């Protein structure tokens, strides 16, 4: 089998097979493994050198063994090499597809009278592979025309619209369960204890200096009354936390330091202050906000 595949084919095939296995089993992110971890590049170079060395050693051994044979043995060795499988079926199929053609020495018999600035035309027969391909293309065209222009099957544009709609639906379904992808339009009030506890921790770390631990307000507005400067409800509070308060006098935009899920958690926790009684409530600011979704 080794004599059927030359070394200049064997070495690259084996080398790239090993490199492919390394890429498959080693997680290197978006970059190739040998770029992420230079030691892998050194390993691959070593593998290449070993493969080349093996080929050189094997060929040298073959040559030494051949030279050690007598004339009769050399003839038997050469005869054995010619008895290896020669892919006769493949060759027969290739000959059938290529067809018969005139050798260069006999092309004078099929030269036509056409002459274009000294360029002569040969009356060669079309190769069977070309003719078969032409017939197949005709059959394909007929089937395509009947399916899409007679029977009105979904064409590529309709299929694109269907797949696009299905992809958008899948994305929306995924967003419902992927809290980390929430934004102003998709955020919903979180009520699970784990989320509220996480929001409380974020609030106590970043917000108590301005709003007090009980939400009564200080530098920042009171969070326990019905008045809101930039609107209440989970969507408005999330947007305020994300984008910041009023220019020049409001709080900073926390989207630079908090993840979407963390902003949703702290916004949900802030809304827990509604209706509570703080120790030193600050005077109400802004307008009374009524959630339109709660109206009947």
Distance CA 253, CA 244 (A): 4
Say if pTM beats, i.e. exceeds, 0.75.
Answer: no
Quick check: helix, strand or coil at residue 113?
A: strand
Mean pLDDT of 3-15: 79
Are the C-beta atoms of residues 212 and 218 closer than 8 Å to each other?
yes
- Evaluate if residue 263 carries a pLDDT over 90: yes
Q: What is the pLDDT of residues 274-295, one digit of tens each?
A: 999 999 999 988 889 887 654 4
In 3D space, the residue among 33, 30, 34, 55 whose CA is nearest the CA of residue 45 turns out to be 34
Cβ proximity of 275 and 216 under 8 Å: no
Pairing status of strand 227-228 against strand 119-122: unpaired
Torsion-angle region of 138 (φ positive above 0: left; ψ -120 to 50: alpha; else: beta): alpha
* pLDDT (average), residues 236-250: 87
Q: Does 13 have pLDDT greater than 50?
A: yes
* CA gap 14, 8 in Å, rounded: 11
Per-residue model confidence as pLDDT tens digits over 65-115: 878 888 888 888 777 765 555 567 777 887 888 877 777 777 777 787 777
Q: What angle do CA 252, 253, 257 make, to 5 degrees?
A: 110
Q: What is the pLDDT of residues 108-153, one digit of tens each?
A: 777 877 777 878 777 777 889 999 999 999 999 999 999 988 988 8
């Amino acid at each position: 089998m080794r004599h059927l595949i030359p070394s200049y084919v064997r070495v690259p095939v084996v080398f790239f097979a090993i490199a492919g296995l390394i890429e498959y089993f080693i997680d290197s992110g978006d970059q190739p493994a040998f770029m992420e971890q230079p030691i892998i590049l050194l390993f691959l170079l070593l593998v290449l050198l070993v493969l080349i060395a093996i080929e050189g050693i094997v060929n040298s051994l073959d040559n030494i063994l051949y030279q050690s044979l007598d004339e009769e043995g050399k003839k038997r060795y050469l005869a054995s090499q010619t008895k290896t499988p020669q892919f006769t079926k493949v060759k027969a199929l290739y000959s059938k597809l290529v067809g018969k053609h005139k050798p260069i020495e006999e092309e004078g018999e099929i030269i036509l009278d056409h002459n274009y600035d000294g360029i002569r035309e040969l009356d060669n027969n079309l190769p069977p592979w070309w003719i078969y391909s032409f017939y197949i293309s005709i059959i394909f065209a007929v089937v395509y025309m009947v399916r899409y222009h007679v029977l009105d099957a979904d064409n590529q544009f309709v299929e694109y619209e269907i797949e696009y709609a299905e992809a958008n639906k899948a994305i929306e379904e995924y967003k419902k369960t992927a809290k980390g992808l929430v934004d102003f339009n998709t955020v919903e009030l979180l009520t699970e204890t784990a989320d509220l506890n996480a929001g409380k921790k974020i609030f106590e770390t970043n917000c108590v200096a301005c709003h007090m631990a009980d939400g009564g307000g200080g530098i920042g507005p009171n969070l326990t009354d019905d008045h809101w400067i930039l609107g209440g409800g989970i969507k408005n509070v999330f947007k305020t936390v994300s984008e910041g308060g009023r220019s020049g006098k409001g709080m900073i935009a926390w989207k630079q330091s908090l993840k979407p899920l963390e902003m949703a958690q702290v916004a949900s926790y802030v809304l827990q202050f509604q209706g509570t009684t703080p120790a030193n409530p600050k005077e109400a600011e802004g307008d009374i906000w009524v959630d339109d979704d709660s109206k009947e």
